[in-house]
Amino acid sequence: MVKGTWTHRTVLLNEAITALQVNPDGHYIDATFGRGGHSRLLLSQLSPLGRLTAFDKDLDAVAEAQSINDPRFSIRHQGFMHLDQMPEASIAGVLMDLGVSSPQIDNPERGFSFRNEGPLDMRMDTTRGQSVAEWLQDASIESMTEVIRDYGEERFAGLVARAIDRYRQASGPLSTTAELADVVASAVKTREPGKDPATRTFQALRIFINAELEELEQALKASLKVLQPGGRLVVISFHSLEDRIVKQFMAAHSREVYDRRAPFAAPKVMQLKALGRTKPSDEEVAGNPRSRSAVMRVAERTGEAA
């Protein structure tokens, strides 16, 4: 793997840690370690009794975590859907930063970006699963259309899928990010000012190949199990598909639920208390344009069992 000096600026760093309302003796989860910005600040607020467990599927992130020489800290090479392995009601706070890290985007070898040519990979965990290139080799036009439409909200999904199929028939399988970006550009004739035609297609394929939305849904459900009463759930999303899932999850678990089949039974009490949302300041967006789409939502675990 090509090594570089790609840097990452953590989005909503202070806001996220403040939202956790850190108990110095508590056990916390950084569900998406990335390059460790949130983890390092959180560790600075823990006492010798506090603990922080981080999760990440990316081997580069796990390698970065090894630089934290702190007995209170541990890293797991797993996706955050596995946080349900933690003991029930044992966690004081769960932080999920759903963004792709800048080193992942900027390193051409990872294949996340249409701006620099590299292998068409996009896997968060390069040790397992299909790459985007492998999936596109055999995917039907119907499957490609569905993925690009549903995960990229691309209104030209059918045109893109057919263009990929024509390329495959004429030139063989797509293998690089530049090839895919050129194919998409040939099919998408209009786009919002300043946005590359390939943006939505690359987003869709990345989300699909990593099962990002399915993993998010599982991780949110697991957070209910592992959070202790009063524990905070803090989630930073970067596009509408993620934010919609988080918003609906917090809303659904922040109200009493009545069983229509048993109208006189006591309602199932709410499990969360939604505490609102935060967006980056104008100053942060000016210094880090990649933060502009971020939305942070916060909820607190109630005192009732899941």
- Domain range for 91: 13-102+212-301
Share of the chain above pLDDT 90, in %: 78
Confidence grade of residue 156 (pLDDT, cut at 50, 70, 90): very high
In a domain, 119, yes or no: no
* CATH number for 198: 1.10.150.170
Indicate if 17 and 59 belong to the same structural domain: yes
Rounded to an integer, the average pLDDT of 54-64 is 94
DSSP reduced 3-state for 176: strand
Indicate if 181 and 199 belong to the same structural domain: yes
At residue 45, the pLDDT reads 98
Indicate if 295 and 232 belong to the same structural domain: yes
In a domain, 30, yes or no: yes
Rounded to an integer, the average pLDDT of 15-39 is 96
Q: How many whole angstroms separate alpha carbon 223 and alpha carbon 233?
A: 7
CA 121, chain centre distance (Å): 17
Can you tell me which residue has the tokens 């935060």?
278
For residue 258 the two structure tokens come to: 């009545």
In a domain, 275, yes or no: yes
Indicate if 192 and 51 belong to the same structural domain: no
Of residues 158 and 260, which shows the higher confidence score? 158
Indicate if 227 and 254 belong to the same structural domain: yes
pLDDT at 256 over 70: no
For residue 133 the two structure tokens come to: 């290139």
Whole-model pTM: value is: 0.89
* CATH number for 31: 3.40.50.150
pLDDT tens-digit map of 233-247? 999 999 999 999 999
Q: How many whole angstroms separate alpha carbon 12 and alpha carbon 31?
A: 15
Half-sphere exposure for 43 (CA within 13 Å, toward CB): 18
pLDDT tens-digit map of 77-89? 999 999 999 999 9
In a domain, 51, yes or no: yes
In a domain, 3, yes or no: no
Instruction: Examine the fold and report which residue of 209, 244, 261 is the final residue of a domain before the chain moves on.
Output: 209
Instruction: Examine the fold and report which residue of 169, 190, 209 is the final residue of a domain before the chain moves on.
Output: 209
At residue 247, the pLDDT reads 97
Instruction: Examine the fold and report which residue of 174, 209, 244 is the final residue of a domain before the chain moves on.
Output: 209
Contacts of 270 (CB under 8 A, 6+ apart): 253, 254, 255, 256, 302, 304
- Cβ neighbours, 10 Å, residue 245: 19
In a domain, 251, yes or no: yes
For residue 184 the two structure tokens come to: 């998409």
Indicate if 43 and 190 belong to the same structural domain: no
Average pLDDT of the residues of the chain: 90
Give the count of domains, the chain.
Answer: 2
Indicate if 24 and 66 belong to the same structural domain: yes
